[in-house]
A and B are shown apart, each in its own frame.
Chain A
Amino acid sequence: MTALSKARVHIGTRARAMTRGRADWRGVLVPLALVALWSGLAGSGLVSPRLLPPPWDVITAIGEFLFAPARGVIAGVVPFEGAAVVHVPASVGRLVLSFGVAAVVGVPLGLALGLSRRFAAYVDPLVQSLRPVPIFAWLPLAFAWFGLGEGAARALIIVGALFPIVVSTADGVARVPRVYRERALALGTPRARLLWKVYLPAALPSVVTGLRLGVTLGWMSVVVGELTGTRYGVGVMMFAAREVGRLDRVIVGILCFAVLGVLSDLALRMIFRPFTGWSRA
């Protein structure tokens, strides 16, 4: 590598790092402004604290949720104080299991749809027509088929996460340039190995995009799923808090889902980064 090209690489890397740094700061500014506006509104007395609890009440509630000593189990009461260790793992477990099932079903289904026009002719219309159905619309069926509780919740999360995974994978495979297939065949690659050697690696960035969308929609479905009578979960806690008018605790739940969503997305990106780095400009 010449000195000039080394310098260009160095400048390019630095420019990207600087851009990323700026983007990070800009990303923090808007939430900070919103919190400031929120504090101003709450402190002005213009809005009832029952409708908009002030940020300091929410911070106190976060402390209670995370660190307060847990109370004993009272039948029919959803715990809040010190109950993060119960609700968060319940929601995370539900998401991980159901998202895992959605990925195991969705990625092969998407590959088949993207690879086989014949298969797509039979199955794609069904996928395209079910895809826009809101997750709430599945709620009565989930109750009927899986009863109240865990089964229905998991089914709803699977449905929520499945479609973005299928659609993004199918689209990614269908967009794999024909020249990759031709080149692999010209180099003696057996047709049976094209899926693993060409289509899957070439479509992996789209598969990962589908998984990231899937995990996001999975979290959205967790909230709906936890309406089905599950005993624990962040969504369960939120609905219980709303019933007693504790919107500060509802906001704690929203923040909890936001953090979990960001962390799960980050985890997926980190897991797949070594395999998809080639697709970044």
Chain B
Amino acid sequence: MIDVRGCSKHFGSLEVLDKVNLRVAQGEVVALLGPSGCGKSTLLRMLAGFEHPDHGELLVGGRPVTGPGPDRGVVDQAATLFPWLSLRDNVAWGPRAAGRRDAGMIADRLLEETGLAAFARAPVRTLSGGMRQRAAVAQAMATSPPVLLLDEPFGALDAQTRIRMHEWLRELLDNRATTVVLVTHDIDEALMLADSLVLLSARPAATVAAMTIDVGAARGRAVLSDPRAVALKRQVLDALLTET
């Protein structure tokens, strides 16, 4: 579904990515882990079409990425919503842009699914951090994108809200065949949400390891106490500490 082939990126004299490779199968959830400032978000922004690689190739669904588009939903840490619109209009934005007459119904269904139906008419500024993140995910999912790109989506939330959000998102994704790339620096988050991990080196980022998260049927918080996940976490930590 996603194929990143030898992508490099510079910002002026700063080399951010160095021949990064990444393959993500359809329906797979991949977490990108790496030291702070290593270029994880830049890679995600390139997949979103907000940035272009200096070298290499990015393919999504077999087609080169030339710019942003509704086939790739994006959620960032700030949970960007349009503050001049109500929550419902925010979620309906994508379907409306696509000319869908049932945009309002799509928004209502997603707000129901995300537990935000009671706040449909609420201004964005009145929402809590967790509600904004759920709304941002609902907005990104409203066009039913085959790919969802999440850039530290829960990084600004407190620990207990973050765990609830992980479980909520995992449940949401389990009902869909969405391919997800999750940028995070939180190993627990990666273990709870992803099917596999890709470790990036310190800047300039290069792919240093890929690991499959095999925790059987364990889901949610239970993953974190699974011995296989504990062992994997140690392995990832060792790899990250070697890189920094």
Task: Name A residues whose Cβ lies closer than 8 Å to a Cβ of B.
Answer: 1, 177, 179-180, 182-190, 193, 198, 201-202, 204, 275, 277-279
Contacts and interface: CB of A to CB of B under 8 A. Distances in A.
B228 to A, nearest CB: 35
Contacts of A190: 97
A183 B123 contact: no
A278 B70 contact: no
Interface stretch (B22-30, B73-81, B205-213): B73-81
Contacts of A201: 82, 84
Contact of B124 (A184, A185, A188, A278): A278
Contacts of B84: 201-202, 204, 275, 278-279
B94 interface: yes
Contact of B83 (A185, A187, A193, A278): A278
A272 B98 CA distance: 29
B70 A187 contact: yes
Contacts of B72: 186
Interface of B: 48-50, 67-70, 72-74, 76, 78, 80, 82-84, 93-94, 97-98, 118, 123-125, 139-140, 142-143
B118 A186 contact: no
B97 A189 contact: yes
Contact of A180 (B68, B82, B94, B123): B82
Nearest to B136: A183
B74 A278 contact: no
Contact of B70 (A186, A202, A204, A279): A186
Contact of B93 (A184, A202, A275): A184
List the 6 shortest-distance A-B pairs measured between CB atoms, nearest first: A188-B70, A187-B94, A185-B68, A188-B97, A186-B68, A179-B80
Contacts of A179: 76, 78, 80
B95 to A, nearest CB: 9
A188 B94 contact: yes
B97 A182 contact: no
Nearest to B73: A186
Given A187-B93, A204-B84, 9 more contacts: A1-B118, A179-B78, A183-B82, A186-B48, A186-B140, A187-B143, A198-B82, A278-B125, A279-B84
Nearest to A280: B125
A51 to B, nearest CB: 52
Contacts of B125: 278
Contacts of A189: 93, 97
B68 to A, nearest CB: 4
Contacts of B123: 277-278
8 contacts: A177-B80, A187-B140, A188-B69, A188-B70, A188-B143, A201-B82, A278-B84, A279-B84
A1 B98 CA distance: 33
B78, B80, B123, B140 — most chain A CB neighbours (10 Å): B80
A180 B97 contact: no
A182 B68 contact: yes
A278 B49 CA distance: 29
A186 B74 contact: yes
A189 B139 CA distance: 13
A187 B143 CA distance: 7
A178 B194 CA distance: 29
Contacts of A277: 123
Contacts of A183: 74, 80, 82
Given A278-B83, A278-B125, A185 B67 contact: yes
A132 B93 CA distance: 42
A275 B123 CA distance: 12
A188 B98 contact: yes
A279 B83 contact: yes
A185 B68 CA distance: 6
B161 to A, nearest CB: 15
A204 B49 CA distance: 28
Nearest to B145: A186
A180 B83 CA distance: 10
A187 B139 contact: yes
A188 B93 CA distance: 9
Contacts of A202: 82, 84
A164 to B, nearest CB: 23
A202 B124 CA distance: 14
A275 B84 CA distance: 7
Greatest chain A CB density within 10 A among B78, B84, B123 is at: B84
